[in-house]
Amino acid sequence: MILKGYTKKIFNSECNPACEGVHCIAKLDQDIAEVLPYLSAALGGYEYLNNPPAVTFKAHGKPIAVQASQIAINALRSEAEADKILSWLQREINEAWENRSRIEPCYEGAPKPNLIEVLKHLPKTNCQKCNQPTCMVFAVRITEGNLAADDCPILDKEQGNRIGEYMGRFDMEKYYSWLRP
């Protein structure tokens, strides 16, 4: 067992105390840096960072970040929900550690769409008919999953299909799951 225990802290959002939901930080009793690439592989991490080691993903509908010495869970309904997810995560961490000889460690996050690959198919007139200030911003919004090619009213069908085909190469549900709590 690599993770034997933790100390949990529950708090409201400092930037918006009126918002519903709570956040949770669990300080870990053991350093779990070594298990993180195995945990990322087991749970389908959205992003893996090497220095300092950390993995982010979404589970139980919540954005979760696991670092060597702490776990952060956002947008929780209650402390009871935090307890449930922390218990589950402790089991997952220990199982990933025990099974590490059978898991291919993952040191990368899910592939992300490239802004320039989207921008090159846009008209680049900056006409703002999409309610975005520039085509560049529009391209950013596409790569974030907040707009689609057909939100540009002057884009021709062929270019729109090219953007759609490009964006279709990515596992967008996995990618966007972290961006959309």
Q: Which stretch in 1-9, 28-36, 66-74, 121-129 sits in contact with ligand SF4 by CB under 6 A?
A: 121-129
By the rule CB under 6 A, 148 interacts with ligand SF4: no
Among 64, 106, 118, 130, binds ligand SF4 (CB under 6 A): 130
Nearer to ligand SF4, 101 or 131 (CB): 131
Among 26, 55, 73, 122, binds ligand SF4 (CB under 6 A): 122
Instruction: Using CB under 6 A, count the residues that bind ligand SF4.
Output: 15
Tell me the DSSP string of the chain. Answer: -----EEEEEE--SS-TTSSSEEEEEEESS--GGGHHHHHHHHT-SEEEETTEEEEEEETTEEEEEESSEEEEEEES-HHHHHHHHHHHHHHHHHHHHTGGGS----S------HHHHHTTS------TTSSSSHHHHHHHHHTTS--GGGSTT--HHHHHHHHHHHTTS-HHHHHHHH--
Q: Interface with ligand SF4 by CB under 6 A: which residues?
A: 122-123, 125-130, 132, 135, 138, 152-155
